Amino acid sequence: MKQVRSLDRGLDLMEVLAREGAQTLAQLHAATGLPKSTIRRLLATLQARRIVRQTVSDGRYRINIAMPAVLGDPLPPLAAAAIDLVVAAATDLTRDVGWPSDIHVPEGVAMRIVDSTRPLSPFHMFTVEANRRVSIFGSAAGLCYLASLPPAAVAALEARTRGDLRWGLARFRMTPANLEAELATTRARGYGRRLPGYVGESPRSDELFAIAVPVRQRERVWGIMTLAWPRAHLPVKEFADRFLAPLQAAAARASTQLGDLL
């Protein structure tokens, strides 16, 4: 009966996560009434089976599967495994260089931050929440991703967002020709950087710069790994001269591991 009770409790946790979205340990305790020690044990099992994952950026737990008759935003287990691999490489990078790394994946006409090592950095940074969407045309990650696409795919994204003051080029008063010139520069430079007018997605500027490189899964770009730092600390080129090589090495390690998932 103890095993059945544990299964029932585990299902209770899964239902809360599917219904309520990302939760802290305290929130799961309040929602289920289970002792925190029991919740930790059950979550460890669910994480080991990749049913649940904990994001580094906010420490919250998220479910990776769909639950019947429960609303949620599930992540396929293979995608969750991929994120775990990339975050591990980004964690090692932050421990080596100090600066935090954000992990982005393309999502429609935007980029989505799936996790961040900012809590692990010794430097105080503007906080970022997992699942935040950022501009594909203004962010370092977005421009890095666009630079990997064929021209037709870039043109299709531009057409879908034409005139959109949040997600389109209109936000930066750019033309498709301006964008193509920026992407050509990005390819030649070997990394993405923010547009000068991009200050993040919050009401106030995050006062950050970032550089970005692709993480590949075999032949396709799976996502983007960045390093971020305060604008007042270093100009972009000087930062890249110091830290681009370790960022590229971390992305290459993650890419090798992602290839083994297929």
Q: At 47, which CATH number?
A: 1.10.10.10
Same domain, residue pair 57 and 168: no
Q: Tell me the backbone φ, ψ of residue 145, rounded to 5 degrees.
A: -65, -45
In a domain, 139, yes or no: yes
Band of pLDDT at residue 66, cut at 50, 70 and 90:
low
Over the chain, what is the mean pLDDT? 90
The predicted-structure confidence for 222-235, as pLDDT tens digits, reads as follows: 999 999 999 999 99
Same domain, residue pair 106 and 218: yes
Give the tokens for residue 148: 């990997």
Same domain, residue pair 85 and 39: no
Same domain, residue pair 47 and 168: no
Quote the domain boundaries for residue 132: 77-259
Same domain, residue pair 157 and 202: yes
Q: Report whether 14 contacts 67 (CB < 8 A).
A: yes
Predicted local distance difference test score (pLDDT) of residue 72: 45
Band of pLDDT at residue 70, cut at 50, 70 and 90:
very low
Q: Report whether 47 contacts 53 (CB < 8 A).
A: yes
Average pLDDT of the segment spanning 214-221: 94
In a domain, 70, yes or no: no
Q: Is the pLDDT of residue 205 over 70?
A: yes
In a domain, 12, yes or no: yes
Same domain, residue pair 88 and 187: yes
Same domain, residue pair 102 and 24: no
Same domain, residue pair 209 and 126: yes
**Inter-residue long-range contacts of 193-199, CB under 8 Å, 24+ positions, other chains counted:** 193/140, 193/143, 193/236, 193/240, 194/138, 194/139, 194/140, 194/143, 195/137, 195/138, 195/143, 197/138, 197/172, 198/135, 198/138, 198/139, 198/172
Same domain, residue pair 159 and 234: yes
Q: Which of 14, 40, 63 is a domain's end point?
A: 63
Q: At 136, which CATH number?
A: 3.30.450.40
Same domain, residue pair 18 and 81: no
Band of pLDDT at residue 5, cut at 50, 70 and 90:
confident
Q: Is the pLDDT of residue 76 over 60?
A: no
Residue found by looking up tokens 């370790």 in the block: 246
Give the tokens for residue 187: 């390819």
In a domain, 71, yes or no: no
In a domain, 69, yes or no: no
In a domain, 72, yes or no: no
* Predicted model pTM: 0.79
d(CA 231, CA 200): 12
In a domain, 94, yes or no: yes
Q: Which residues pair with 116 in a beta bridge?
A: 102
137: closest CA among 129, 145, 148?
145
Q: Is the pLDDT of residue 127 over 80?
A: no
Same domain, residue pair 160 and 188: yes
The β-bridge relationship of strands 133-135 and 192-193 is unpaired
More confident residue, 126 or 35: 35
